[in-house]
Amino acid sequence: MSTIDVKVSAIEQVTPLVKHFTFVKEDGTVFPAFSGGSHVVISLNIGGRIHRNPYSLMGSPEDTSAYHISVRRQERSRGGSVYMHENVTVGMPFKITYPVNLFSLAKKARKHILIAGGIGITPFMSQIADLERLGADYELHYAFRAPEHGAFAERLKKTCGNKLHCYVDSLGERLDLSVLMGNQPLGTHLYVCGPNPMVVSVFEVARNFGWPENHIHSEQFLAPPIGEPFKIQLARSKKEILVPAEMSMLEAIEAAGVEADFLCRGGACGRCELQILETDGALLHNDHFLTDAEKASGKKIMPCVSRAKCERLLLDI
Does residue 18 bind other proteins (CB under 8 A)? no
x/- letters, 235..264, toward other proteins (CB under 8 A): ----------------------------x-
Report how far residue 206's alpha carbon sits from residue 189's, in angstroms, rounded to the nearest whole number.
11
Does residue 266 bind other proteins (CB under 8 A)? no
x/- letters, 271..310, toward other proteins (CB under 8 A): x---------------------------------------
* Contact assessment for residue 288 and residue 300, using Cβ atoms and an 8 Å cutoff: no
Report how far residue 230's alpha carbon sits from residue 228's, in angstroms, rounded to the nearest whole number.
6
Rounded least distance, CB 265 to other proteins, Å: 13
Report how far residue 119's alpha carbon sits from residue 101's, in angstroms, rounded to the nearest whole number.
18
Rounded least distance, CB 96 to other proteins, Å: 11
Rounded least distance, CB 118 to other proteins, Å: 25
Element (H, E) at 23: strand 18-25
x/- letters, 197..236, toward other proteins (CB under 8 A): -----------------x----------------------
Bridge partner list, 8 = 23
**Edge-to-edge strands, sheet with 230-234:** 239-243, 230-234, 313-315, 274-279, 300-301
* Contact assessment for residue 313 and residue 231, using Cβ atoms and an 8 Å cutoff: yes
Least Cα distance to 99 among 264, 219, 254, 231 occurs for 264
x/- letters, 89..128, toward other proteins (CB under 8 A): --------xxxxx--x-xxx--------------------
Q: Which of these segments, 15-23, 191-199, 267-275, 292-300, binds other proteins (CB under 8 A)? A: 267-275
User: Within 13 Å and on the Cβ side, how many CA atoms surround 214?
Assistant: 4
Count of residues that bind other proteins according to CB under 8 A: 23
Report how far residue 130's alpha carbon sits from residue 133's, in angstroms, rounded to the nearest whole number.
5
Rounded least distance, CB 27 to other proteins, Å: 15
By C-beta, is 230 or 289 nearer to other proteins? Answer: 289
Q: Which of these segments, 35-43, 117-125, 143-151, 174-182, binds other proteins (CB under 8 A)? A: 35-43
Strands 307-309 and 282-284, by their bridges, are antiparallel
By C-beta, is 33 or 242 nearer to other proteins? Answer: 33
Report how far residue 127's alpha carbon sits from residue 113's, in angstroms, rounded to the nearest whole number.
11
Rounded least distance, CB 34 to other proteins, Å: 5
Among 33, 200, 242, 296, binds other proteins (CB under 8 A): 33
First to last CA, the chain: 18
Where does this chain bind other proteins (CB under 8 A)? 1-2, 32-35, 37-38, 61, 97-101, 104, 106-108, 214, 263, 269-271
